[in-house]
Structures are given as structure tokens and as C-alpha cells.
Amino acid sequence: MKKKELKFVIPGGNDPHIFELIDHFKEEAICFEVVDQTDLDETCQLENMVYHQVDSTDEVLRVAIEMVAKGEVDGIIKGIVQTHQLLKEVLKKDYQLVEHGFLSHVSRISVKDTGQTFLLTDAAINITPDIKDMQKIIQNALLVGTKIGIAQPKVALISSAENYNPKMPSSVSAKSLTEYYQAHPEEVGEGIVYGPLSLDLALSKASVHDKRFKGPIAGDADILVVPSIDVGNVLYKSLALFSHVQMGGIVVGARVPIVLSSRGDSVANKVSSIQLALEYGGGFHGASLSD
């Protein structure tokens, strides 16, 4: 069957790490529109890449996001540009890319030692979300979960303990959110939102057994929701540094998914981010790109 060509735009993409990533997809039906202000070395020209040279950093962002607004690309990959500058451009009202949405970051983490896979949110965008923001973060994560095939998502609201403590803000917000979704089950579908819950009880059945814990989520969470970016960032980087994991993440809530690639990420994790973006956007599931 004929393959559908999918496109990503990469603002600030004139970089060896980006070219390595692009080359990884040379056998797939994906084209990368690279926008940068620097000259491209002819030896770096790749078959699945189109290079657009512009005059300034501002032009890099404008040209890239205009491609999104015009429907010319299926996603964004951050190159050598500042994250806050990229998101500021995406949020401009003229583009209408986030007209009714709320931006949040969702990571998919696969732990090789245990075989577990779960989503983590929000470890990159929202600093100290309030209850309303937490509801939007949860809804974005549920949408990602649904699109990647989690039929009955179990959403764990992470705190330092599973017992409600009125002196602990994460515990208070988790209790409020749990009660909200109990009163509005239609917003979760076949899933459940529950907390406060400690990390070990969210992911470890052995801990559940040892602590004799009973609850609707017992070591089998599909989605972890952290109370702040500090908690999420430390957890994400701890997993990356000290565990055998594969991870990839995207920003959702805009018209297209956004991959916040970093030079420090491995090629495997960058590829995982693009795969998650494509699955979320309906581009493909698994390895097949055929339509």
C-alpha cells in the first residue's frame, strides 16, 4: 500500500545531533522540514530533509510555526532554540494553535527490568499547577493514553504517602481531585483517578502486598500525575540516570504534538518521543507507517 508522508518541522535544526535523528528515519515515510539561520554544510544534506535558511532566530520560529498553522506539518521537534521561545511562538493568538487547549508534557516510560510502561505528567511545562490546571493536565494525559491504546487508564495522583494529610499540599490537591472525578465519572470514561498515592504503591505490587494496601490503584498505575514540576523533573531524571528505561515525551494541547528534544537525550529516547508524537497524532502505531 502507498505510504502516507508525514512531516515534522524542526526550528533550529542545523545540528549534528538533529541530523543523526533525521537519518534514523530515512527508511520511513517521514520528511523533516529544518528551519535555521546558519549555512548548511552540503555534506549534511539528507534525502528525507528539506532545509530552509532564514535571517534570524525570530524568523526561524515564525517560519516554522507558520508551517504548523498552515497545516503543512504533523508535528514540531525542538532544535537549538530555547523552549520558552518556542512555546511563546506556539501560543501566539494569531496562529490559533492552542485556541481551546492547555499545554502540558506527557512522557511514556518503559522500565526494562520490570516490563512496566506508564505515562508521567507534567515534568516539563507547568510549575505549580492549581486544581483547575491539574484537571487539564489529567485530561491531556487521558487523551494521550486513549490514543496510544490504554483502554481503562488508572491515573495515580502522586504524593509522599497514601494517607490524607491536610498539612501536605500534594495530599490536599489529590484528595480534591479524587473527589471531583468521583462526582464526574464521565470525564474519565472507563478509567479512574485516585490519590493521594505514594510512588511505590502506584507502581509496585510487592509494596502493595508488604503494606497490605487496598485501593482502586494497587501497583498497576498507567498514568502518574505529579503535583509540581520539581517532583516530575526529579523523578524523570532519576529514572533516566539510575534505571534501565526507555523514555520519550511530547507537549500536548496544541494542534500538533511538540517534541522537546535535548542534546543530552539518547538517540533511542529521541526516537521514542517521535514515535509517541506519531501515535498521538494518528500517524502510526508500532513500526508501521502504511495507511
- CA-closest candidate to residue 159, choices 110, 239, 238, 232: 232
Domain ranges of the chain: 1-101+254-291, 105-248
CA dist 108 and 163 (Å) reads: 27
Partnered with residue 34 across adjacent β-strands are 10, 51
> What's domain 105-248's superfamily in CATH?
Isopropylmalate Dehydrogenase (3.40.718.10)
What's the pLDDT score for residue 58? 92
Categorize the per-residue pLDDT at 26 as very low, low, confident or very high, splitting at 50, 70 and 90: confident
Residue 2 has pLDDT above 50, yes or no: no
Once rounded to an integer, what is the mean pLDDT over residues 4-16?
Answer: 90
Categorize the per-residue pLDDT at 222 as very low, low, confident or very high, splitting at 50, 70 and 90: very high
261 neighbors 78 (Cβ within 8 angstroms): yes
Residue 1 has pLDDT above 50, yes or no: no
Q: Is the peptide bond before 196 cis (omega within 30 degrees of 0)?
A: yes
Percent of the chain with pLDDT over 70: 95
Which pTM does this prediction carry?
0.91
What's the pLDDT score for residue 262? 73
What's the pLDDT tens digit per position in 166-205?
A: 999 999 999 999 999 999 999 998 899 999 999 999 999 9
What's the pLDDT score for residue 144? 96
CA dist 216 and 155 (Å) reads: 10
- CATH topology classification for 1-101+254-291: Isopropylmalate Dehydrogenase (3.40.718)
Residue 285 has pLDDT above 80, yes or no: no
CA dist 213 and 206 (Å) reads: 10
What's the pLDDT score for residue 168? 96
What's the pLDDT score for residue 281? 85
Once rounded to an integer, what is the mean pLDDT over residues 135-147?
Answer: 96
CA dist 204 and 238 (Å) reads: 17
Residue 284 has pLDDT above 50, yes or no: no
227 neighbors 173 (Cβ within 8 angstroms): yes
Q: What average pLDDT does the structure give for the chain? A: 91
Residue 77 has pLDDT above 50, yes or no: yes
Residue 240 has pLDDT above 70, yes or no: yes
Categorize the per-residue pLDDT at 4 as very low, low, confident or very high, splitting at 50, 70 and 90: low
State which H helix or E strand residue 274 sits in.
helix 267-281
| Two domains, one topology: 1-101+254-291 and 105-248 | yes
What's the pLDDT score for residue 113? 87
Percent of the chain with pLDDT over 90: 80
